[in-house]
Amino acid sequence: MKKVWHNLMVDAPSHRYPIYIGSGIFADFALLKAHIGKKVAIVTNDVVAPLYLDTLQNALRDNGVAAFAIVLPDGEQHKNHASLNAIYDGLLRHHADRKTTIIALGGGVVGDMAGFAAATYQRGIPFVQVPTTLLSQVDSSVGGKTAINHPLGKNMIGAFYQPQAVFADLDTLDTLPERELSAGMAEVIKYALLGDSDFLRWLEANMAALMGRNQAFLAQAVLHCCRMKAAIVAQDETEQGMRALLNLGHTFGHAIEAEMGYGNWLHGEAVAAGCVLACLLSERLGSLKTKDTARVRAIMRQAKLPDAPPVFAFERWLAHMRHDKKVESGMMRFVTLSALGRAVLTPLDDVRILRDALQPFIL
């Protein structure tokens, strides 16, 4: 049995819970058992199930926990009402009650859907996150945002609902396609840009080891990001203020994803380009230097991520960005940087500044 390397607590106002970061967590059953009931529903998808479902299900059964699996089709396009219903069907068919624990085994798509099912089934049952992508380990599994997509908008139906615990097993990252590793790295870099210039220097120095999946380095990165997210969530669980800073690069990123068609650009890839655009906007606002933006573009390339967005019409950029959840009373708000490592929420009523920043990427 391998040991767990790190743990930290998330002190969300609604619920306090641990994050465990390590390897071999599936084998260390005592830890998992402390956070689940006698009956477990494992929610996963048809890509992750062949890789990890048996190990988890056997560990549960060997320890006297009744476990059944709900295997959903893989992909963001299935983060919808049909999949949510499939989870409810599985829960009802297996007579899940209020003490049944849902274990979300997979990336952010599985975690968001399983979390929302847990929030709503019989008005709320406990759930545990076992994130298996870098993105979900550093971001989506922590903080209690759960959701499904609506045909008219991504993540439009959801709830704030915190898990009982998060188990980030770095072993699972070994099977992750490289493009997905890079996409997760975009969110890692985002944390550095929004709040920690020392972490940015650390990432610049160690990106080769991280992309080479060196576990000790990945553990440091996941731990650091989870600490940052936990600190923010503790202060602003439901995004009334500073939690919005986690959306650095996301207003532009969502526009790229929507314009290019979801799935063609991975979320993380769009966020990478979005962070570069946030830098260019910050330059226009006079708070960042050209050499800062060059540094950001360089680290994106180091992580095999795009360092520039695709080109399309300004009207399209605007149309997508006006749908952003940060729009308040019609006013667009952007997360900009007052320095590398310091993010601020900036209302913007003059679209000319935006047009200037986006100029090279306007058709």
For 154, counting Cβ atoms within 10 Å of its Cβ (0-12 exposed, 13-18 middle, 19+ buried), the class is middle
- Three-state DSSP class for 297? helix
Size of the site for ligand NAD (CB under 6 A): 28
What residues from 2 to 61 belong to the interface with ligand NAD (CB under 6 A)?
45, 47-48, 51
Catalytic: which of 33, 213, 227, 243?
Answer: 243
- 283 touches ligand NAD (CB under 6 A): no
The stretch near ligand NAD (CB under 6 A) out of 17-25, 27-35, 53-61, 171-179 is 171-179
Q: Is 135 in the site for ligand NAD (CB under 6 A)?
A: yes
Cα 6 to the center of its chain, rounded Å:
20
User: Tokens representing 236?
Assistant: 């602003």
HSE of 21, CA atoms in CB hemisphere, 13 A: 25
Q: Which of 3, 95, 123, 352 is catalytic?
A: 123
**Interface with ligand NAD, residue 180, by CB under 6 A:** yes
Residue 253 contacts ligand NAD per CB under 6 A? no
> Known catalytic residue: 323?
no
Smallest gap, in angstroms, from Cβ of residue 241 to ligand NAD? 16
Is residue 239 annotated as a catalytic residue, yes or no?
Answer: yes
180 is catalytic: no
Q: Cα(324)–Cα(338) distance, rounded to whole angstroms? A: 22
Cα 112 from chain centroid? Answer: 9
Residues with Cβ < 8 Å from 134, sequence gap 6 or more? 173, 176, 180, 181, 183, 184, 185, 187, 188, 218, 222
Decide whether 53 or 348 has the Cβ nearer to ligand NAD: 53
CB 274 within 8 A of CB 249: yes
The answer to whether residue 267 forms part of the interface with ligand NAD (CB under 6 A) is yes
Active-site residue, 6 included: no
243 is catalytic: yes
The binder of ligand NAD chosen from 78, 128, 139, 182 (CB under 6 A): 139
Residues known to be catalytic = 123, 145, 187, 229, 239, 243, 247, 250, 254, 267
